[in-house]
Structure 1
Amino acid sequence: MTDGLYPRLADAFPALAIEIAELLRAEGEPLAEVVADLPYYGPCTCTATCINLLTAPPGSSGSSMIQLERNGMDVVWLSLDPARTTITDIEVLDGRDLGPRAQRSD
């Protein structure tokens, strides 16, 4: 559940949220069940070239990540919190246009 301050990732990027959940389920990954309720904190602003979408406050990530593939190619990398109980940010690697919600407003 979100706290109401931020939209859900599934509302901001419905197709992406569905795809991530499906790819996680295909891997037997229980984190598939948290995707629908992830909040969307906006695009990461750590550097000018960072393309991550934040699903937790900046600095929440641990060192664990999940690489999701389609047809043998990495399409999404998910950073996880230190306890590996939620996804903290999403890096979309396949070059798809996610629209204005993924853009920084520098």
Structure 2
Amino acid sequence: MARRVPLRSSLLARLLGTSVLIALLSTSSTAWLVFRSTTLAIEQERGDVLADDVGIQDALTGYAARHGDWKGVSRTVRRLAAAPACPPALHPVVRVRSPGVRAPRSG
């Protein structure tokens, strides 16, 4: 009669355990890599959007510093909206009408 080998010292059990461990480690490391690369991509996108916003704010602040009112700002806003890096919020039809609002005077 053949003697049963305990499961602990069985070659098959060791190979199965090693395979399961490798599968778990590879799955978890892949998930970590995907999470990390997605996080970096989101951070990069946020930085790009922030830079675009700062550029728009600088352009409008510059316009306000050079002009006494907002009458001609529509040309600047259209130029900003046509820029390829412009946020989608500015892409629809741009209408700038605020007759009561005046640009601050510099100096």
TM-score in same-fold range (> 0.5): no
More helix by share: 2
TM-score (norm 1): 0.22
More strand by share: 1
TM-score (norm 2): 0.22
